[in-house]
Amino acid sequence: MSTLTPVNSPESPTSVSGKHQSPNGAAVTGKTIFTLEDIQKLLPHRYPFALVDRIIEYVPGERAVGIKNVTFNEPHFQGHFPGRPIMPGVLIVEAMAQVGGVVLTQLPEVAGGLFMFAGIDKVRFRRQVVPGDQLVMSAELLYVKRRRFGKMQARAEVDGQLAAEGELMFSLVD
């Protein structure tokens, strides 16, 4: 018997179609948008480490798309790099993971847990992210293993150009 729970398949117990609920309990059909306030109810991250401003698309148990508006006022730009501000790659990966966290925290079988990185594979950076950019990040759940581990495929784009992509693994911490 396999310990993997497939997602994104018709047999998947987490597949949902039609109506679902937003974090504030409202019934929603089609595209779901989570505001910053909704995201803060789902994720523990706070300034300066909250890296998702809005979820613009959400399919329960499958995927989410979020945005981050990159501004010069962010503290890491003071030292990375003076005179040539570039968003650190580790923060791009963290922002993608936070979008994935929105998907994971909504899975009924893992409600109430805290997810942390268990691994990062095949991450590649393709384009610099600078102040003024809008980072559009997608995270698609590939599988959940034993209700404690998950793997996602994540991408970050700016103006339709790939900035970063990779596989992110998560572990549920009690």
Q: What percent of the chain has pLDDT over 70?
A: 81
Structure confidence by residue, pLDDT tens digits, 22-55: 444 544 444 669 999 999 999 999 999 999 999 9
Across 71-95, average pLDDT? 96
Q: For 93-118, how does the pLDDT look when each residue is reduced to its tens digit (9 = 90+)?
A: 999 999 999 999 888 877 677 889 99
Asked if pLDDT for residue 6 goes beyond 50, the answer is no
Residue 117: predicted pLDDT: 92
Sign of CA dihedral 159, 54, 16, 145: positive
Would the CA dihedral through 85, 88, 89, 92 be positive or negative?
negative
Q: Which of 20, 45, 76, 80 is catalytic?
A: 80
In words, the CATH class of domain 4-173 is alpha beta
- Residue 79: what residue type? G
Does residue 106 contact residue 157 with C-beta atoms inside 8 Å?
A: no
152-164 pLDDT tens trace = 999 999 999 999 9
45 a catalytic residue = no
Q: What is the mean pLDDT of residues 106-133?
A: 91
Q: Which is more confident, 113 or 130?
A: 130
**Residue 99: how many other CB atoms lie within 10 Å:** 31
Give CA–CA dist 103/141, Å, rounded. Answer: 8
- For 135-161, what is the mean pLDDT? 95
Supply the pLDDT for residue 11.
35
Q: Is 101 in a helix, a strand, or coil?
A: helix
